[in-house]
Amino acid sequence: MKGTFPIDKFQEIQTPFYYYDTDLLRRTLKTINEEAGKHPGFEVHYAVKANANPKVLNVICQAGLGADCVSGGEIQAAINAGFPANKIVYAGVGKSDWEINLGLEKGIFCFNVESIPELEVINELAGKQNKIAQVCFRINPDVGAHTHANITTGLAENKFGIAMRDMEGVIEEASKMKNIKFLGLHFHIGSQILDMGDFEALCNRINELQNQLEAHHIVVKNINVGGGLGIDYNHPNRVPIPDFKDYFDTYAKKLKLRDGQKVHFELGRAVVGQMGSLITKTLYIKQGTAKQFAIVDAGMTDLIRPALYQAFHKIENISSDESVETYDVVGPICESSDVFAKAIDLNKTHRGDLIALRSAGAYGEIMASQYNCRQLPKGYITEDL
Ligand SMILES: Cc1ncc(COP(=O)(O)O)c(C=O)c1O
Q: Residue 380 is part of which domain span? A: 7-17+275-384
**HSE (side-chain half, CA atoms, 13 Å) at 142:** 8
Report which ligand 1 atom has the smallest distance to the Cα of 153. Answer: 16
68 lines ligand 1 (CB under 6 A): yes
Q: How many domains does the chain have?
A: 2
What was the pLDDT predicted at 155?
55
pLDDT, residue 361, reads 98
Domain-located, residue 28: yes
Give yes or no for residue 266 CB within 6 A of ligand 1: yes
Exactly one of 110, 136, 334, 373 is catalytic; name it.
334
Cα 382 to chain centroid distance, Å, stands at: 21
Task: Name, in order, each residue with C-beta under 8 angstroms of 358's C-beta and a sequence gap of 6 or more.
Answer: 3, 233, 236, 274, 277, 313, 314, 315, 316
Residue 236, preceding peptide bond in cis (omega within 30° of 0): no
Q: Could you read off the pLDDT of 102-152 as tens digits, one per residue?
A: 999 999 999 999 999 999 999 999 999 999 999 999 999 988 766 655 555
- Is 334 among the catalytic positions? yes
Position 3 scores a pLDDT of 80
Which pLDDT value is given to residue 154? 53
Q: Which atom of ligand 1 is the closest one to the Cα of 186?
A: 1
Annotated binding site for substrate: 269, 305, 309, 335, 363
Q: Is the CB of 264 under 6 A from ligand 1?
A: no
pLDDT score recorded for residue 143:
87
Q: What is the pLDDT of residue 157?
A: 57
Looking at residue 142, its pLDDT comes to 87
For position 325, which CATH number holds? 2.40.37.10
pTM over 0.85: yes
Same-domain status, 84 and 194 = yes
Pairing of strands 339-347, 324-330: antiparallel
At 1 the pLDDT is: 73
Same domain, 136 and 187: yes
Q: What confidence score (pLDDT) does residue 160 get?
A: 77
**Is 80 within 8 Å of 67 (Cβ atoms)?**
no
Label the pairing between strands 262-267 and 42-47: parallel
Q: Which of 233, 256, 273 is the last residue of a domain?
A: 273
Is the residue at 2 inside a domain?
no
Ligand 1 binding pocket mutation candidate from 49, 194, 251, 271 (most atoms within 8 A of CB): 49
- Low-confidence stretches of the chain (pLDDT < 70) are 145-158
In-domain check, residue 1: no
Ligand 1 geometric centre to CA of 95 (Å):
16
Same domain, 299 and 268: no
Q: Give me Rg for the CA atoms of the chain.
A: 22
CB-ligand 1 contact for 47 (6 Å cutoff): yes
**From the CB of 361, is ligand 1 less than 6 Å away?**
no
Give nearest CA residue, ligand 1 atom 3. 226
Whether 95 is in the pocket of ligand 1, judged by its Cβ within 6 Å, is no
Are 358 and 241 found together in one domain? no
